């Protein structure tokens, strides 16, 4: 009977794989709830002193390219190719709110609260074209240390997106440059070329992209989450994930910083859900790398979030500055130095040995010169006596 009870217990116990999977799911759920709670607490109305906000602004205003480089590995600032202006490019799907974000960032550093908007915002994308020409915005106005680039929205065609992103990241960006896709119709291409007939972007300076700000529409993400819960397709999230993981957008191991827009149309709980959901699908921290910047809010908390986002982008831009060519050549030569020294030492030993052998093979009269002999003809000079 005892044996039967043991057999019955073995049958009722869950398999080992099922048990470990249950534990992993439980741990994942606990971790997710903890992150969600922490994000919710961050939305509490904080009393931000004006002095703290001004101190944070001064950090951006005093920034110069390369100032935040981490001097690791014995490298110095002179070992890097530091740009004249650090360039941050805004990338996102059409209607994600890139132009609105440009205006919000610019307004944080404007003296006047009601400063005019610098970027053209499209309110109805079915009527207007949106952003087709790359636009450069110095932050703040008149500065030469930091610039933001507003770009054309990504499309549903991943091949076109990859080609466009590759061009911007590898070739650089220029103010006023027209962004045309291969899939654009002939009428769109003709209309855009007509608009850009006097842009003169060829005379503008080409800037290499130093880091990427990935802009996401929070309302569209929430709709995708809800539809996925109902069993529908989450194509919007899949598209975002595919573009975010594009290798051209990452700098070494550093992936783009993410900004969630249109949060003013969502509740605080839904805004937290969107950040947690994006963090899981994009593989980044929803607390430290995903920033919620609503469109219409202009309180101190939003301004501080904008500054924190810029600090994150600038720190990672400086950390991934390219090395100078001479430094790369020096780095390639360092492992070969012991070999070169060994070759030089060997050549010196061999040459010394050859010289010694040649000296030893010479005849004695060449090696040792005897004094000359003097023969006097006494008979010829006898008259001198």
> Tens digit of pLDDT for each residue in 142-185?
899 999 999 999 988 888 999 999 999 999 999 999 898 888 88
Average pLDDT over residues 40-46: 80
Three-state secondary structure call for residue 179? coil
> Tens digit of pLDDT for each residue in 78-119?
889 999 999 999 999 988 999 999 999 999 998 656 677 888
Q: Is the pLDDT of residue 328 over 50?
A: no
Q: What is the mean pLDDT of the chain?
A: 82
Give the pLDDT score at 188: 84
Average pLDDT over residues 348-365: 68
Q: How confident is the model at residue 349 (pLDDT cuts 50, 70, 90)?
A: confident
> Tens digit of pLDDT for each residue in 298-315?
788 899 999 999 999 999
297 vs 221, higher pLDDT: 221
Residue 272 CB contacts under 8 Å (≥ 6 apart), including other chains: 36, 39, 40, 43
> Tens digit of pLDDT for each residue in 233-288?
578 898 999 999 999 999 999 999 999 999 999 999 999 999 999 999 999 999 99
Q: How confident is the model at residue 372 (pLDDT cuts 50, 70, 90)?
A: low
What is the reported pTM? 0.78
CB atoms within 10 A of CB 103: 20
Q: 268-282 and 235-244 are packed helices; what angle lies between their axes, rounded to 10 degrees? A: 50
Provide the 8-state DSSP code for 116: P
Please give the radius of gyration of the chain, using alpha carbons only, rounded to the nearest integer.
36
Instruction: Characterize 212-244 residue by residue with b for buried, 16 or more Cβ atoms within 10 angstroms of its Cβ, and e for exposed.
Output: bbbbbbbbbbbebbeeeeeeeebebbebbeebb
Q: Is the pLDDT of residue 322 over 80?
A: yes
Structure token digits, residue 373: 């002999």
Distances (CA, A) of 338 to 326, 332, 374: 20, 13, 60
What region does 176 belong to: left with phi over 0, alpha with psi -120 to 50, or beta? left
Which stretch, 48-57, 122-131, 134-143, has highest mean pLDDT? Answer: 134-143
208 vs 186, higher pLDDT: 208
């Amino acid at each position: 009977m005892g044996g039967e009870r043991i057999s019955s217990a073995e049958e009722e116990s869950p398999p080992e794989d099922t048990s470990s999977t249950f534990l992993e799911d439980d741990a994942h759920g606990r971790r997710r709830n903890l992150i969600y709670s922490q994000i919710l607490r961050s939305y509490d109305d904080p009393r931000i002193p004006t002095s703290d906000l001004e101190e944070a602004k001064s950090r951006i205003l005093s920034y110069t390219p390369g100032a935040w480089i981490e001097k690791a590995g014995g490298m110095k600032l002179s070992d890097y190719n530091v740009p004249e202006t650090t360039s941050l490019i805004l990338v996102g799907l059409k209607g994600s709110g890139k132009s609105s974000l440009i205006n919000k960032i610019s307004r944080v550093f404007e003296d006047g609260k009601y400063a005019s908007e610098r970027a053209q915002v499209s309110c109805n994308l079915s009527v207007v074209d949106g952003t087709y020409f790359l636009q450069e915005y110095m932050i703040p106005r008149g500065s030469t240390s930091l610039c933001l680039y507003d770009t054309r929205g990504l499309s549903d065609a991943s091949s076109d997106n990859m080609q466009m992103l590759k061009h911007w990241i590898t070739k650089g960006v220029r103010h006023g440059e027209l962004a045309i896709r291969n899939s654009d119709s002939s009428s769109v291409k003709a209309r855009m070329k007509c608009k850009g007939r006097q842009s003169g972007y060829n005379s503008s300076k080409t800037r290499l992209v130093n880091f990427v700000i990935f802009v996401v529409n929070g309302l569209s993400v929430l709709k995708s989450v809800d539809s996925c819960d109902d069993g529908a397709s989450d194509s919007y999230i899949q598209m975002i994930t595919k573009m975010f993981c594009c290798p051209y957008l990452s700098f070494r191991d550093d992936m783009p910083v993410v900004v969630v827009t249109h949060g003013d149309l969502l509740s605080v709980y839904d805004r937290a859900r969107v950040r947690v959901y994006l963090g899981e699908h994009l593989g980044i921290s929803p607390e430290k790398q995903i920033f919620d910047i609503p469109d219409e809010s202009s309180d101190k908390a939003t301004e501080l979030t904008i500054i924190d986002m810029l600090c994150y982008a600038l720190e990672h831009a400086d950390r991934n500055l390219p090395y100078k060519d001479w430094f790369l050549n020096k780095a390639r030569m360092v492992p070969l130095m012991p070999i070169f020294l060994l070759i030089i030492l060997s050549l010196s030993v061999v040459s010394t040995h050859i010289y010694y052998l040649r000296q030893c093979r010479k005849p004695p009269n060449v090696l040792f010169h005897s004094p000359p002999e003097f023969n006097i003809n006494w008979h010829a000079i006898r008259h001198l006596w």
